[in-house]
């Protein structure tokens, strides 16, 4: 804000360069004269993310043995313990509609992800608009992208507008970065723009320098942190591009998709956080793997393929391998994302304070393709509407739609019910 004129920056202000439009984080200078500082004014509103992991879990390694506020974190969820006050574990949830239709194993896998956010089996009820898209219609219409759909593998989507219109999920971080911060929609356009400038920030450095000089000290610090985050994501993508260009063994590989699961996941989570910080979107979904995926994760210490590992035949050693893989996924994805959000200032708190993040699966016991006892964990405070630090044990077979309708309410979406919901969850 200019304290002499009383003018303030627009929340929608963009820094523009050649083919680039960079959104800004929430700054004190965006608060009208006479109002409280940005540190007291809050954020643009709650953000919502839904993160899907296939193949269920080993339930006695996932579900805490005690309930309430003093619960002990289970072995699978141990990496989330540093963020206890922002975490709610919800057990007892089920996805009953996923039992309808094709009784084959493949049918159960398909419905596990198709129904997870719709709670309507395809072809059996009203148009299954997924919960995230309902949220996008209410809290996403004031942003550049009403919603952002991402995945680490091709083939599937957890986000649906209509029964025949799943939202395409983007797997290439470079495409996502360009969608958020630059135009270049074709490889030729991207190559031409890179030839003109080494980085997006270089293209807009003059306008950024002018803006920085006009900001108060607190805003300059926030801006520098935000720009450092943007530079770091772009640095990773540039390294990935250079690596792929040197690799003559894989000439057809799409540039920007890392070989490493961890690097791919971290980059996608960083992009979500940046998009939230700049208020480019408020609703995001991320599918960490596709149902029936048999990808191996040797970094976890388990060399078996994911799908094979999930069918443990109740052998204790096999179950321990799946539990180890579940814990690895929590540590490298959910714990990383929660930490990233918690470290990012937003209004009167952090992005974690002003978001609600769902992590889970549409399968419970993967050995039997069961849709009961779903592994579900929530993170974030939803702008003060959610209290963390609890293990909430619900009656068995409580429909997961009860949680989804509660989440919609907590992020400001006025709905009376959702799909087969018959109540709400006290979070």
Give me the residue spans of the domains in the chain.
1-41+174-256, 43-171+263-269+282-427
C-alpha dihedral sign at 260, 263, 264, 265: positive
Q: What is the pLDDT of residue 215?
A: 80
Q: How many CB atoms lie within 10 A of CB 213?
A: 8
Q: Give the chain's mean pLDDT.
A: 83
What is the mean pLDDT of the segment spanning 388-394?
A: 98
**What does each C-alpha distance from 384 to 46, 287, 348, 356 come to in angstroms?**
9, 27, 11, 10
pLDDT band for 213, please (50, 70, 90 cuts). Answer: confident
What is the mean pLDDT of the segment spanning 357-384?
A: 97
Are the beta carbons of 276 and 351 closer than 8 angstroms? yes
Please return the burial class of 380, using the count of CB atoms within 10 Å of its CB with bins 0-12, 13-18 and 19+.
Answer: buried
Q: Is 10 helix (H, G, I), strand (E, B) or coil?
A: coil
pLDDT in tens, 185-194: 455 554 554 4
- How is residue 108 written in tokens? 């159960």
Over 50: is that where the pLDDT of 247 sits?
Answer: no
Select from 312, 374, 333, 331 the least CA-distant residue to 98: 374
DSSP track, 241-297: HHHHHH-TT-TTSPTT--SSHHHHHHHHHHHHHHHHHTTS-SEEEEESS-TT---EE
Of 172-181, 229-238, 393-402, where does mean pLDDT reach its minimum?
Answer: 229-238
DSSP track, 291-354: TT---EEGGGTEEEEHHHHH--TT-HHHHHHHHHHHHHHIIIIIHHHHHHHHTSEETTEETTTT
How many degrees, rounded to 5, is the angle at CA 389 between CA 384 and CA 390? Answer: 110
pLDDT band for 236, please (50, 70, 90 cuts). Answer: low
- How is residue 22 written in tokens? 């960079």
Over 50: is that where the pLDDT of 244 sits?
Answer: no
Q: What is the pLDDT of residue 21?
A: 55
Q: What is the pLDDT of residue 163?
A: 75
In angstroms, how far is CA 234 from the centroid of its own chain? 19
What is the mean pLDDT of the segment spanning 83-88?
A: 98
Q: What is the pLDDT of residue 22?
A: 61
Cα end-to-end distance, the chain, whole Å: 38
Q: What is the pLDDT of residue 278?
A: 84
How many Cα atoms within 13 Å fall on the side-chain side of residue 151?
Answer: 18
pLDDT in tens, 15-45: 555 455 566 666 766 655 444 443 444 567 8
Share of the chain above pLDDT 90, in %: 59
pLDDT band for 238, please (50, 70, 90 cuts). Answer: low
Query: Distance (Å, rounded) from C-alpha 150 to C-alpha 154?
Result: 10
pLDDT in tens, 102-159: 889 999 999 999 999 999 987 776 667 999 999 999 999 888 889 999 999 988 899 9
Select from 182, 210, 211 the least CA-distant residue to 197: 182
**What does each C-alpha distance from 76 to 61, 68, 192, 320 come to in angstroms?**
6, 18, 47, 11
Query: Which residue has tokens 């919960």?
Result: 131
Query: Distance (Å, rounded) from C-alpha 327 to C-alpha 57?
Result: 10
In CATH, 43-171+263-269+282-427 is 3.40.720: yes
Select from 23, 271, 282, 290 the least CA-distant residue to 133: 282
Q: What is the pLDDT of residue 47?
A: 97
Over 60: is that where the pLDDT of 3 sits?
Answer: no
């Amino acid at each position: 804000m200019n304290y002499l004129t009383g003018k303030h920056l627009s929340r929608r202000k963009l820094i523009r360069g050649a083919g680039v439009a960079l959104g800004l984080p929430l700054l004190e200078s965006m608060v009208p004269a006479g109002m409280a500082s940005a540190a007291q004014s809050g954020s643009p509103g709650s953000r919502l993310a839904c993160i899907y992991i296939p193949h269920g879990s080993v339930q006695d390694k996932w579900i805490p043995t005690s309930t309430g506020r003093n619960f002990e974190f289970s072995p699978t969820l141990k990496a989330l313990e540093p963020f206890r006050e922002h975490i709610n574990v919800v057990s007892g949830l089920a996805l009953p509609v996923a039992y309808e239709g094709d009784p084959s194993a493949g049918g159960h896998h398909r419905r596990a992800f198709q129904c997870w956010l719709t709670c309507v089996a395809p072809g059996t009820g009203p148009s299954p608009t997924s919960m995230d898209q309902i949220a996008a219609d209410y809290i996403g219409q004031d942003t550049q992208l009403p919603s952002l759909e991402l995945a680490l593998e091709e083939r599937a989507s957890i986000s649906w507008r209509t029964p025949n219109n799943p939202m395409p999920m983007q797997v290439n971080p470079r495409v996502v970065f360009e969608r958020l911060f630059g135009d270049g929609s074709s490889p030729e356009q991207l190559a031409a723009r890179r030839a003109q400038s080494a980085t997006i920030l270089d293209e807009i450095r003059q306008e950024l320098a002018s803006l920085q000089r006009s900001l108060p000290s607190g805003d300059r610090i926030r801006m520098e942190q935000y720009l450092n985050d943007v530079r770091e994501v772009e640095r990773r993508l540039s390294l990935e591009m250079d690596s792929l260009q040197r690799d003559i063994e894989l000439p057809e590989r799409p540039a920007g998709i890392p070989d490493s699961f961890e690097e791919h996941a971290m980059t996608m989570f960083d992009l979500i956080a940046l998009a939230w910080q700049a208020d480019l979107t408020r609703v995001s979904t991320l599918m960490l793997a596709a149902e029936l995926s048999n990808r191996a994760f040797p970094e976890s210490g388990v060399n078996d393929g994911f799908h094979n590992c999930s069918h443990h035949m109740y052998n204790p050693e096999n179950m321990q391998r799946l539990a180890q893989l579940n814990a690895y996924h929590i540590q490298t994805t959910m714990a990383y994302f929660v930490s990233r959000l918690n470290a990012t200032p937003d209004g009167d708190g952090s992005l974690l304070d002003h978001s609600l993040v769902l992590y889970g699966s549409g399968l419970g016991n993967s050995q039997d393709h069961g849709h009961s006892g779903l592994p579900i964990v929530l993170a974030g405070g939803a702008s003060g509407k959610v209290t963390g630090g609890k293990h909430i044990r619900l009656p068995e077979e409580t429909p997961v739609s009860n949680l989804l309708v509660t989440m919609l309410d907590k992020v400001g979406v006025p709905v009376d019910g959702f799909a087969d919901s018959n109540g709400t969850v006290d979070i």
